[in-house]
Amino acid sequence: MPDSDRISHPIGGLSPKPAPGGRTLLLILLALGTGFGIKHVLSGGDDSYTGFLRARTTRVVATVSGRLTKITLEEGQTADVGEELIHLTNDELEAEREAGRQKVVNLNFALGRARARAEVDLEWRLRELEAELLETRLQSAEFLKAQFDQRLGAHAWTDLIPESDSPTSVTETSVTETSVTETSVTEATTTPDDVFQTAARSDSLLDIDEGQLRALLEQQAATNAAEVSTVQVQLCEDRLLQLTQLISELPEQVDRASGVAALEAELKQAQDELTEIEAKPSAVVLRAAAYGTAGVYRAAVGQRVRAGEPLVELLDRDYRHITVKVPTRELVRFDPQSVVGLEFSGGRRHQGTVSRIPTQADQDTNSVETDESFVTLEIEPLDRVWPDVPIGAAVRVSPCEK
């Protein structure tokens, strides 16, 4: 017989009777009651929320990268403003010191090389100047000798001219071996024009014999040559002064051209900076910026920390509050400054007031799957001081019925 043709019958061939309507309704009510009972048990027997005790905190962070060497305020101890908390070595300062020392070494090395080059340059330049100086002195001596000889010749030729026929009077000239300046010299001023004017004033040109005329001409030539020698000697003396000044200024000029002066100034600045860096304390002391109790340290003595890394929080236990996350659909049960019940560990009950209800839901607790969002309420004390429990302890928050 096919399966589709089979007809099942209850035992004894009797058909089942439908359940009465009252019994069905009773079963539904029992199921709902059981559900509400389970929810009541799971939620602790009331419509409460779990919050956490908070305190106003001041975060202490590492200002420099280094190694934690000392903790002066132990966990749980209270610090006043400005009190020492943590000692750190300053890696940045050590690196800065090392860089400063290396800079000084490099500048000293560069300065040594520049000075060596300057010394070589100065030596051959001095040789050139000293050679020119010597040559100029020799030329000056030759010109002085020539001047002396020429003046002496001029005086000799003057002696051959009769005093009465002489167109000019020549006085003796005093010449020294070491000075170019005349002290008591009156040079002869006889010129060829004077000779001819003298001859013209004479009764006859035959009064001046050939010897006298030659003496006059030779005397004038010697005088002119002496004047030329005087100018040459003066030029030599001017050049000697220039060379002497160049030799005195040459070391500074060579140093400047070789970069010695600039390197010396840079080295002095680097040394001054290094002195300032060396004077800075090697340890950095972190102090309390506000009153509070030290929480848990996130680094131990001997560990290395980075700049900006949080090390500990100072908890101001005098300004404690509770934060609790509440579904946005339950916000109707809370109003600003409304009273809520608080249950701390050990069953200790207190009250608080809602001090803050944010205007925006928490972005990190929104859930698309459950179509649920939360807001974080802040609750402050209402009655006597809350019990001394650890910051972060869980607290049951129950809204009071309106």
Q: How many Cα atoms sit within 13 Å of 69 on the Cβ side?
A: 13
> How many residues are given for the chain?
402
> Helix 260-279 crosses helix 210-258 at what angle (to 10 degrees)?
30
Other CB atoms within 10 Å distance of the CB of residue 7: 4
For 200-235, what is each residue's pLDDT tens digit?
555 544 455 666 666 666 666 767 666 776 777 777
Mean pLDDT of 308-319: 87
For 60-87, what is each residue's pLDDT tens digit?
999 888 889 999 999 888 888 889 999 9
Note whether 189 and 168 are within 8 A (CB).
yes
Query: What's the mean per-residue pLDDT of the chain?
Result: 75
Asked if residue 191 has pLDDT above 70, the reply is no
Instruction: State how far the Cα of 213 lies from the Cα of 220, in Å rounded to an integer.
Output: 11
Asked if residue 198 has pLDDT above 90, the reply is no
Note whether 129 and 241 are within 8 A (CB).
no
Asked if residue 35 has pLDDT above 50, the reply is yes
More confident residue, 253 or 89: 89
Asked if residue 10 has pLDDT above 70, the reply is no
The pLDDT score that the predictor gives to residue 207 is 56
3-class DSSP state of 212: helix
Asked if residue 110 has pLDDT above 80, the reply is yes
pLDDT band per the 50, 70, 90 thresholds, residue 170: very low
Instruction: State how far the Cα of 316 lies from the Cα of 312, in Å rounded to an integer.
Output: 13
Note whether 245 and 82 are within 8 A (CB).
no
Q: Return the top range by mean pLDDT from 13-22, 164-173, 178-187, 265-274.
A: 265-274
Strands 394-399 and 339-343: antiparallel
Note whether 394 and 347 are within 8 A (CB).
no
For 333-354, what is each residue's pLDDT tens digit?
888 888 988 999 888 888 899 9
**Checking phi first, is residue 82 left (phi over 0); if not, alpha (psi -120 to 50) or beta?**
left
Instruction: Tell me 18's DSSP state.
Output: P
Residue identified by tokens 């020392």 is 101
The pLDDT score that the predictor gives to residue 257 is 76
Q: Return the top range by mean pLDDT from 88-102, 224-238, 247-261.
A: 88-102
Other CB atoms within 10 Å distance of the CB of residue 123: 10
Instruction: State how far the Cα of 288 lies from the Cα of 60, in Å rounded to an integer.
Output: 8
Mean pLDDT of 295-308: 90
